[in-house]
Amino acid sequence: VQLQASGGGLVQAGGSLRLSCAASGRTLSDYYMGWFRQAPGKEREFVAAIDWSVGSTDYADSVKGRFTISRSNAKNTGYLQMNSLKPEDTAVYYCAASISRTRYKSRYNYWGQGTLVTVSS
């Protein structure tokens, strides 16, 4: 599976962005897709994930109510809609795929290249 993340950019606090994660090589229907982020000098952390086949979702407390993860089976693409962005959301965002339902980054087998989100105050 190859993953390509896109959609990052510069946005003011309170604004919105939508990230995309396009998959190729095989369908993601057998996978759990996650979004992670890594701020400068910090560990990569879990943001959100979706069970591709049934659509159930999981969110980190820090983004719950502001971010929404979704997917398009037809496009084999996942999305992360980010609203009410805060400066502390500034990070490189990565999409990843795992055969396990998990928040642990070590259990994700496939990773996209990352897309930078910068939120100005």
Residue 30 backbone class (left: φ over 0; alpha: ψ -120 to 50; beta: rest)? alpha
E-assigned strands of 16-114? 17-24, 32-38, 45-51, 57-59, 67-72, 77-82, 91-98, 110-111
Q: What pLDDT shows up at residue 81?
A: 98
Per DSSP, 109 falls in state -
Instruction: Give the chain's residues under pLDDT 50.
Output: none
State how beta strands 91-98 and 110-111 pair.
antiparallel
Q: What pLDDT shows up at residue 36?
A: 98
The predicted-structure confidence for 94-115, as pLDDT tens digits, reads as follows: 999 999 999 999 999 999 999 9
Q: What are phi and psi of 117, to 5 degrees?
A: -115, 125
